[in-house]
Each structure stands twice: as structure tokens, then as C-alpha cells.
Amino acid sequence: MSKQYLTAHSIENAHESSIYALGVTSTLTLTGSGSPAIKLHSTQDPDHPLMHTFDNAHTLGCHHISVSKAGRRAVSSGFEGSVMIWDLEHLEPNGEIDDVNESGRTWPISISADGSRCLTGSHNGRVRVWDLEKTPILKLRDYETKNVFAMCVDLSHDSKLAASGHENGGVYIFNNETGRMLHSLTGLIKPVRGIAFSPTGKLLAVCGDFQVVAIYDVHSGEQVFNFVGHNSWVFSVCWNETGQFLATRFVILFK
């Protein structure tokens, strides 16, 4: 069963260039684009007015935004390779991860539900866990994944598990408590573009150029189900709070 939703409101010319990143809290919508600024619009007003702008957030533009479930902290990654931390309560910068020289340019990011941890993936396949509560920000884990571009990452709700999806179809699950790889998942041969733990952390949803959403059992590493119906690349996937529904974002092909 699938559902379709009607557009409630559109913000015209929200950015001067293409929008690449989106993050949503109960009160704000954060957007990043090819321009340096990250913009925050209100979700509490029907007109969704611009509430704040983080000017010069990323000099070359922003391609990923991740927001904590509590809505108090966000992280963003830019084309220059840095990761910025944002305090959404006081609307100010809250730190920076500059990992370009050590592990290649950061691409995907994921912030933990409580906002205390950040997971990053890079062009050379390194996957890292960071403690955002420390000053300076502390690297907790450093995982290797055969030097293949990490296209997506996700943290489980309790931050005990991390997962990454890669350009060659590789999917890895890591135990952040032990620092060990739990599973190298099989069955996918095309780029993985989206990955998401279920709210309980028992299932992992994976999507990409293979046009299906694959569901894996986190404990066993076995693929337990496929959701079919897409006719093109699937870019992202997310669960609702109870884990009963999945939402996907994909390309619509017109003939």
C-alpha cells in the first residue's frame, strides 16, 4: 500500500541556486544549496516565513543536512569538505569537523537522535563517528570500507550501530561500542544512495540504483524483504516513528 500527498505550500526562489539538502524539525525547515547560506523557514506559520539564515555556512555550497530528532542541533556538510554543527535553539554555530586532509572530502552525514554523535562518510570510503559534546570535537571510531565512495550513512536511534552504503553496492553495519564490523551485506551490485535503521534498530532499509528498497535483519544480516514498484533510482528512504511505514524519494522518468 502506498500513499500520495498534495502540496500544502511552496516557497518560490528560496535559494539563488539549486537546493541539494533538506532537514526538518517540528518548528523549522533547513535548506542548503549551491550557495554558501543555509536558510531556516518556520513550519509553524502557514506561510512558512524565513526565520533565520546561516550566512557563509559553506563557501562552496551545502549538499547534506541532518537534524537531531529532538530538533536542538543540526549538522551540514559542504562541497569544500567540512562539516558544520548548528545550535538550533540559539541559532548559532556550535563547532566544526574539518576532516578533508585526513580522510578525503566528507559526503554523507547523520546526527544521532539526541544530537550528541555524528556519523560521516567520505570519498575514500572512511566512515567515522564523532562526539559532538567534546571541545574540540572528538573522533570516537574510524572504520575502513575498501576505499569505495561512501554515498550514505545512518546511526541507529541509540547510536550503538552505524551503517554505510557505497558506490559499488556495498553495505556495512558497525558496532560502535566494540568498534567492529557486524556485517558486510550482500545482494546489491549498484550504487547505494539511501540507508536507514528502523526505530528499534532491528531492521535496515537500503535503496539506490537497483530500483527496490531492500530490508535487512540487523542481527543476522539476512535480506528479509524487497519493496518493488520504483522504475528508477531511489535516492533516500526513511521510517515513521513506529516503524510501520517507509517513505522514499525517487526520480520520476517521463517517456
Residue range 175-186, pLDDT digits in tens: 999 999 999 997
pLDDT at position 170, please? 94
Reduced to 3 states, what is the DSSP secondary structure of residue 254? coil
pLDDT at position 253, please? 62
pLDDT class of 104 with cuts at 50, 70, 90: low
For residue 43, the enclosing domain spans 14-98
> Is 31 a member of any domain?
yes
CA–centroid distance for 212 within its chain: 19
Domain count, the chain: 1
> In angstroms, how far is the first alpha carbon of the chain from the final one?
25
pLDDT at position 2, please? 61
pLDDT class of 98 with cuts at 50, 70, 90: confident
> Is 165 a member of any domain?
no
> Is 129 a member of any domain?
no
C-alpha span between 51 and 43 (Å, rounded): 10
pLDDT class of 3 with cuts at 50, 70, 90: low
Any idea what the CATH number is for the domain that residue 22 is in? 2.40.10
Element spanning 110, H or E? strand 106-111
> Is 22 a member of any domain?
yes
Share of the chain above pLDDT 70, in %: 95
> Is 67 a member of any domain?
yes
pLDDT beyond 70 at 125: yes
Element spanning 100, H or E? helix 100-103
> Is 37 a member of any domain?
yes
* Global pTM value: 0.92
> Is 158 a member of any domain?
no
What are the φ/ψ torsions at residue 205 (nearest 5 degrees)?
A: -95, 135
> Is 147 a member of any domain?
no
